[in-house]
Amino acid sequence: MAPTDPLPDAVPDPVGSVVRAVRDALDGGPAYAPQPRLSDVDAPPGTALVLRTSGSTGNPHEVALSAAALRASADATHERLGGPGSWLLVLPPTHVAGVQVITRSLMADGALYPHTLDRFTAAGFAALATDFAGRLAHGRRAYVSLVPTQLHRLVAAADDGDGAGLDALARFDAVLVGGAGAPAPLLAAARAAGVRVVTTYGMSETSGGCVYDGVPLAGVRVRLADAEADAEPGSGLTPGSAPGTGVVELSGPMLAEGYVGDPDATAAAFRTDPDGTRWFRTSDLGRPDEGRLTILGRADDVILTGGVNVAPAAVEDAIAEHLARLGTPGEACVVGVPDAEWGQAVVAVVATGPAAQGSPGDPGPVLTDGGGELLAGVRSAVGQRLGAPAAPRRVYVTDALPTRGPGKTDRRAVRDAVVRAEREAAREPVRP
């Protein structure tokens, strides 16, 4: 592909066919669904794309996005990053993050370079990024979007002596990291290597990321439902959203039209204020921290243990930082499992390797007891930061955490695996 080659015709299939369909949909053509449709219900008039959610909170939905919403998201992203540029696509073009890389490229004079990797590796990315720079960058700003698992592989390879992939990543003007929460030590390691990481928060219903590094994009408003006090002036969080914790609600021109064929779910998630402002109610808990939005995890993931609410994401961050201090970085998934005494027991599963995409019928991860030393260290680190109720009562180790969708840990599969392990071991809970 030469730098002057037009898009989308120069992009080879199968990505090329997706790019052409997205271009046509943005230009007023028929609605495009990059994955097989779940039903034969027609999308609402004006729909450009029908994207399937990951189904991490239950059955997946089909989200109807207009061309105006997709363009608004792309424009706001380029504005925040410093202007349009060339994009390297290393995400599946079937989910919102990958589709939005395509949309941004089409709106930036077709500056797209698709991946040719069967599996994302540090060496493969280094070669791809070098080719990308030689063919398409040519003085333009260069961008790439990753999920945390991909960033983890680049950092881990550098730790093992192969820094080519991480070095290549540091040459991009911005590296969007989203799709799931990234552990703080992982972000710190990447930034220490010179990578210009921008964390993103959003979902299919918001045309992808709409809050970057905790700050809403232009035109985006954020509020926390059920919070009582006013937000800090200029924070981007609307009145009624701070201080305290609440369910994140998002508003702006990038919102989806709703869920195809599911008016009840649409009415529950998309709400309109008396002044006409339309909001999408997420399933996530958040809090304002010095004018920035911090995501604490999904509201339905909160663990109620001994009458105390524990947010898994906060526990996972504490564990990741503890492991990094030990020199054995890894990812953690924290879940609540039934417990006769505590209602739910906080249990951590630590993965020493990258996440693995799950598949239907997959029995889930194989867990082994983390041992008393690991448990004691984790309990101490978490307890000191978050209090004793948040300290995991058991810690298991596995090779890889299962995922659902691009980069999202499949908590249901992890929880099921823990329950199986608990039944097999029939162990007594750890006392405070």
Please provide the DSSP assignment of 270-299 as one string: EEE-TTS-EEEEEEEEEEEETTEEEEEEEG
pLDDT at 259: 96
Locate 33 and state its tokens: 């669904």
**What pLDDT is recorded for position 423?**
82
Name the token pair of 271: 């709400």
Taking 50 as the pLDDT cut, the residues of the chain under it are 1-6, 227-235, 238-243, 356-361
The phi, psi pair for 417, rounded to 5°, reads -65, -40
User: In 252-352, where do the E strands start and end?
Assistant: 258-259, 270-272, 278-289, 292-298, 303-305, 308-310, 331-339, 343-351
Q: What is the pLDDT of residue 125?
A: 94
**What is the C-alpha to C-alpha distance for residues 422 and 349, in angstroms, rounded to an integer?**
13
Question: Which part of the chain is CATH 3.40.50.12780?
Answer: 15-289
From the DSSP assignment, how many helices (H) and strands (E) are in the chain?
A: 11, 23
Token digits for 101?
């890389």
Long-range contacts of 123-127 (CB under 8 A, 24+ apart): 123/157, 123/162, 123/164, 123/165, 125/90, 125/150, 125/154, 125/165, 125/168, 125/169, 126/164, 126/165, 126/167, 126/168
CATH, domain range 302-425: 3.30.300.30
- Phi/psi of residue 287, nearest 5 degrees: -150, 150
Q: What 3-state DSSP class applies to 18? A: helix
Q: Where in the chain is the domain with CATH 3.30.300.30?
A: 302-425
Token pair, residue 287, equals 């809090």
In total, the chain counts a number of residues equal to 432
Interatomic CA distance for residues 158 and 116, integer angstroms = 22
* Burial bucket for residue 294 (CB in 10 Å: 0-12, 13-18, 19+): middle
**What is the bridge-based pairing of β-strands 85-89 and 112-114?**
parallel
Q: Please report, to the nearest 10 degrees, the dihedral formed by the alpha carbons of residues 103, 108, 110, 111 taken in order.
A: -100
From CA 342, how far away is CA 216, in angstroms rounded? Answer: 38
CA distances from 419 to 102, 119, 276, 312, 396 (A): 41, 31, 46, 17, 12
The tokens for 69 are 């919403």
- On whether the pTM is more than 0.85, the answer is no
Would you say 230 and 239 are in contact if contact means Cβ atoms under 8 Å apart?
Answer: yes
pLDDT reported for residue 229? 38
- Report d(CA 30, CA 25) in Å as an integer: 6
Which of these, 141, 109, 112, 139, lies nearest to 128 by C-alpha position? 112
Q: Which fold has domain 15-289?
A: Rossmann fold (3.40.50)
What is the reported pLDDT for 432? 52
pLDDT at 405: 65
